Structure 1
Amino acid sequence: MSLKTQLWIAVAILMLLSLLVSIGVSTVSARNYLAQQLHLKNVDNAASLALSLTQLPKDDAIVELALAAQFDTGHYRLIRLTNPRGEVMQERTNFVDPEGVPGWFVRLMAFDIEPGVAHITDGWSQFGALTVESQTSYAYESLWEGTRQLALIFAGGVILIGLLGTLLLRRTVRPLDAVVQQAEAIGNRRFITVAEPATREFRRVVVAMNALSGRVRTMLEQEARRLEQFQRDAHVDKISGLLNRDPFLRMLDTTLQADDENAAGLLVLVRINGLADLNVAYGRKAIDGLLADMGAALNAIVGDQSGWGASRLNGSDFALLAPRAMEPQRVASEAQQALRGVLEQHSMDAGITLPCAATIFTHGATVSSLLTRLDAALQAADRQGGSTIRIAHADDADATPVHEQMERWRDILAQAFAEGSFSLATFPVVDLQGRLIHLEAPVRLRWEGETLAAGHFLPWIHRLEMSSELDRQVVDLALGLIGAQGRPVGINLSVDALLDPNFPSWLGRRCAAAPDAARQLWLELPEAMAFRHLDRFAHLCSEAKAFECRIGIEHFGHQVSEIGRLHDIGLDYLKADASFVRSVEKNPANQTLLRTLCTIGHSIGVIVIAEGVRTDEERQALETLGLDGVTGPGVVDYR
């Protein structure tokens, strides 16, 4: 029960008790007053009637007539005349029940009134004693009517006071709403801060919780900066600021094995012919500055795109990885022009050529085949002379114009949506004891008797802007799978789930229709998209967590400097990118990165899962680093 409800109940009880006490006191006071007046009336009437009878002849008929006349003209319950021996000579009675008065009220407020007694004389001798009791039914009726009116007046006053009290209580405890929201947010691992209320007790609580949130945010920012610096030292070339060769090749390998829209794209190589001569002519310090500016130019290209990367493979060869891109000539020309622009800025472009090679890769290709293909194309461009761009094709399909491929895939996907040809595959995500955390469920497409992996068709889904429609189908498929198997299922959403303003409300309606399944639904988005659209991501998290869905970020670890921004999102899990997991048992740098990432994740109450685990050696190494779960080709058994 909420504090506001308890306060209101306490106030209501106090007001009800005040009402009952007030009515009780007023009614008892009125009862006592009426009893006193009835007693005085009994005494006065008895004395007046006795005096009248004393002056009359003591004939029985005359006395009877006098008593009857007095009884009929007054409101009496009893008039009794007794002789000196106590024998009843005359008696008139009229015991009338009060009209419209509940019996319980009569019993509760019963009058105990002394009758009026007076003596009648006949000369010097006593004739008899007269007893008079006034009628009480009118008193009960008057007392009941007064009590009822008083109760109505008091009840109206209580309602009015209650309304005013409610407004005052609402205003007084209004800061409590913010306190409750903050407490609930912290319980959901969202370390938010709120304005300090004026109420002293509330302010002390808010100050303490704001301090907690501030410490968490500061800790995340400090750890993120430290982790970013370590990552740069371990993975980034100190001169150019680009990825070193080994981290870049691991990133390329992970991309080629991805089961999402990043599984197809471009790889570009650019060679700076004459760099050694420039080093001799201008000196190492000047060339280091040149290389730093070149790295900045390439990083500017890849920084605007999710999953892109650039590397200095050796002294004069630069590589650019561009998932989802399908225009090799344009991307290669952009990279070439970026490097040419830096050379011109430094006035070192004379006699320098930039031969370039680009190739399209698809899901399942190997790093060695791509590099072999590009090396041959780059040598051919170099032999041709100048800054030639050569496009290397693996087969005739790669040489098909992009617009023709798009039209073909548009027809395939339109038919697939119409016929419901999409399904979900399932792969286990397990904890360190081999227990199932959830089933990772990438989407599959049934086409012409084959089941296509997501990496084959998701790039085209993305290019044809059908991602939002596919997201909805995947959610429905996942809820159905949960209902059928009763096990938690995790699905990947595209960036359109964030950009489509209608998707969160649509997701809420779907979850409301299947609340039990929604509690076992795990939703995840790529790291780059979550950070790029953080406000929309937070909104989606809020909508999903209202139905107890789990929210996570996949492919995590490339933007560790941004991790401090996650303190108020309410995440449930992070999935470390597979590029950091490749042969982690032999890579101290990635071991340190993953260990620190686990520490940071656990500090905000999220679990950390490793993607792309392939070998038992990787799995054993990850267990020692503190990760909570693993998934990948090497994870097949669970319980």
Structure 2
Amino acid sequence: MTLFRQIYSLLFGLFLLVIASVGYVQFTETQSFLSKQMESDLNNATHSLSLMLVPALEAGDIAGAETLVNVIFEGGYYQEVKLTWLVGGKQQIWNNPVEIQGVPQWFLDLNIFDTVKKSNTITSGWIQLAQLEITAHPGFGYHELWRIISNTIILFSILFLLAILCARLGLSWILKPLNSISVHAKGIANRQFGPDLPLPKTDELKDVVTAFNSMSAQLKKIFSSLDEEVTALRKKNLVDHASGLPNRQYMTNRLNSWLSEPNSGVLLMAKFDWLEEVHSKYGYQVRDETIKLLSDKFRENLNEYPQSVIARIAAYEFAFLVTDVEKEQVSKYLQALIRTVNQEISKAGCKPNEDFAIGVTERIGQMSVSEILAQADNALQIAARQNKVFHWFEADKHQLFSREQWREQLNNAINGKQFNFRWQPVTYSASKDVMQREIYCQLNIDDKLIHAGQFMPYVELLSLGSVLDKHLILTLEEKHIFERNYEPVAINLTHQSLSDPEFHSWLNHFLRNSPMAERICFDIPEAGVYGDPDSCIELCNVIRDNGAQFGIDHFGRQFGSMSYLQSLRPNYVKLDLSFAHYEENQHNSELCRALVNVASGLEIEVIVTGIQEHAQYDKFSALHTDAYQGFILPPESVA
């Protein structure tokens, strides 16, 4: 029960107690007063009637006596008159059936008033003429008591309602600072920090609000400092200071993560010997300034490809990773890269298309980081030896379909729900219980199973992401996969679904009408959060409001602030695969620890991905992560 209701109930009870006490006193006093009044009236009536009956009794006039008694009956509340003649022993009894109007029967049945009788001996001198006995009728008392009680109840009810209304308004005004604190506390519990609360006028509450504002500011400062620590560690360990681009270590980690996923793309390695000429002519400061300008131009002219990564991996060497694209787009990327380099070469006073070479290599099947780097370096050396601007080491494989064929095949497979599912468990570190099962899908095209690494680049290219996600979710429901286990099923959402309002509306309707909403999780790529944060917040609100869960995939891969965690409030985060090879003596150990601390400080569960064996995961025990996932428990087919 809230404090407001407790105080409100206390005041309500005290007011009822006061009213009950006053009502009881009023009732007893009124009853006593009416009883005495009826007794006094009865005494007067008895005495008056006795004097009036003397002449009739002396004369033996029975008719006169009856007339006098009837006059008494008509003038007051009397129930019975009994007249006993002492001479002759004759007895006369008069009953008055007086009805009480306006008083409920249940009130009369309470028998509040006792029967009041008064007897008197009528005499004439020393001679006793008759015995007179009058019994009072309680109707007067009941009528007056009911009238007084009714008026009192009406008055008290009006006062009670006014008092309760005033108490409610007064308590709401007095306790408003406490309510604000409660709302603010819930916001902090949800990792949302608002402005400081204004100080109330109540002295006792001023200290509470002041202390709470101080605590809120300190917590906000702690989370901000953790975020700043992550940014500083990234800048220190993963950023090349001269160019402002990611360094070789970041590119190696990214390649490791990329090659561990079902994906496609190319790696370009470029060597710019003309930068050495700039160094020899103008010194290292001008060289570093030129590298900075060149890097800025790369970011500006190649930003059409948000999935690309540009890194400076050596003094005069740069690496470019482009994922989820087809060959035609890579060609455009390569031409834009060459054009940018030539523009900067001309500004530096060197000859275009000279003193630089680019090697291009495609991802072929299962490759390691060293293999693809060696292959890209070989292509770079061939271009340098042959004095060519670039050399493309193409994969010796046949392209399955053209773009339009991919469009037709994907539309047919997706709309026909030709999915084949596998899932991989995510296991709790402490209990070894399954936390969730992540779904992977393949498409059945021309009676062949095509894995995600082959068709996902074309899904994104052809803007079929939200269509794929809709039919995938519907197929999972139709096959009752959500009902097979108590553990939630995690679904990876495409980038298009994150920013598609129609998909948001559809998902809201689906989850609202699904009895299995609490068993569905959605993995949102961190790159999508940085790309369109407003749409991600809207989508996450839809998921949360309908009882489902969501998490951030590839957590820690992107450069940027972690403050989005406070806005999105995910249930969990999945560390990027690049952190799977965590070692205490590696440079990224501090960054990995800081990322875990940021998420854990916000009460977000941390899942380590890319785990191959228990010994590998044991290295994360010092970080107190919550769960792990990888080929230590490989994906299984979903029948």
Question: The TM-score by the shorter chain falls in which range?
Answer: 0.7 to 0.9
Distance change >3 Å, CA 138–CA 421, structure 1 → 2: farther
CA offset digits 1:113-170 (Å, max 9, x no partner): 7445555332343434433343222442443355345434543554455455545544
Q: Is the 8 A contact 1:192 1:567 kept in 2?
A: no
CA offset digits 1:276-329 (Å, max 9, x no partner): 322222222321222233334334567786543212233333221122344123
Query: Using the alignment, how far apart are the partners of 1:286 and 1:131 within structure 2?
Result: 133
Number of aligned residue pairs: give it: 627
Q: C-alpha displacement at 1:26, in angstroms? A: 4.3
Which of these residues, 608, 611, 618, is aligned with residue 609 of structure 2? 611
Query: Using the alignment, how far apart are the partners of 1:370 and 1:448 within structure 2?
Result: 31
Which of these residues, 329, 334, 337, is aligned with residue 336 of structure 2? 334
SS at match of 1:56: helix
Correspondence 1:78-477 to 2 at 5 A: 78-82=80-84, 89-94=91-96, 98=100, 101-102=103-104, 104-108=106-110, 110-112=112-114, 114-116=116-118, 118-159=120-161, 161-163=163-165, 165-190=167-192, 195-196=197-198, 198=200, 200=202, 204-259=207-262, 263-300=263-300, 306-326=306-326, 327-344=329-346, 346-347=348-349, 352-358=354-360, 361=363, 364=366, 367=369, 370-371=372-373, 374-375=376-377, 378=380, 381-382=383-384, 388=389, 392-395=393-396, 397=398, 405-433=402-430, 434-476=432-474
Aligned to 1:544: 543
Aligned to 1:489: 489
Aligned to 1:566: 565
Q: Which amino acid aligns with 1:466?
A: L
Structure 1, unaligned runs of 5 or more = none
Q: Is the 8 A contact 2:525 2:554 kept in 1?
A: yes
Distance change >3 Å, CA 274–CA 561, structure 1 → 2: closer
Distance change >3 Å, CA 422–CA 194, structure 1 → 2: farther
Q: Is the 8 A contact 2:612 2:632 kept in 1?
A: yes
Q: Is the 8 A contact 2:260 2:577 kept in 1?
A: no
Say whether residues 1:598 and 2:596 are aligned partners: yes
Q: Is the 8 A contact 1:239 1:288 kept in 2?
A: yes
Q: Is the 8 A contact 2:269 2:380 kept in 1?
A: yes
Q: Is the 8 A contact 2:274 2:350 kept in 1?
A: no
Q: C-alpha displacement at 1:427, in angstroms? A: 0.5
Aligned to 2:67: 66
Q: Is the 8 A contact 2:307 2:324 kept in 1?
A: no
Aligned to 2:518: 519
Aligned to 1:34: 34
Q: C-alpha displacement at 1:336, in angstroms? A: 3.1
Distance change >3 Å, CA 68–CA 154, structure 1 → 2: same
Structure 2, unaligned runs of 5 or more = none
- How much is the aligned-residue C-alpha RMSD, in angstroms? 3.8
Q: Which amino acid aligns with 2:599?
A: G
SS at match of 1:195: coil
| Range with greater deviation from structure 2 (67-76 or 13-22) | 13-22
Distance change >3 Å, CA 287–CA 349, structure 1 → 2: farther
Q: Is the 8 A contact 2:415 2:471 kept in 1?
A: no
| Range with greater deviation from structure 2 (66-75 or 167-176) | 167-176
TM-score by length of 2: 0.84
CA offset digits 1:314-354 (Å, max 9, x no partner): 33332211223441232223333444444455555678554
| Range with greater deviation from structure 2 (629-638 or 610-619) | 629-638
Distance change >3 Å, CA 14–CA 619, structure 1 → 2: same
SS at match of 1:79: strand
Query: Using the alignment, how far apart are the partners of 2:502 and 2:45 within structure 1?
Result: 88
SS at match of 2:557: coil
Distance change >3 Å, CA 605–CA 308, structure 1 → 2: same
Q: Is the 8 A contact 1:591 1:625 kept in 2?
A: no
Identity rate of aligned residues, in percent? 24
Q: Is the 8 A contact 2:272 2:356 kept in 1?
A: yes
Query: Using the alignment, how far apart are the partners of 1:103 and 1:535 within structure 2?
Result: 71
Query: Using the alignment, how far apart are the partners of 2:57 and 2:286 within structure 1?
Result: 149
Q: Which amino acid aligns with 2:243?
A: S
TM-score by length of 1: 0.84
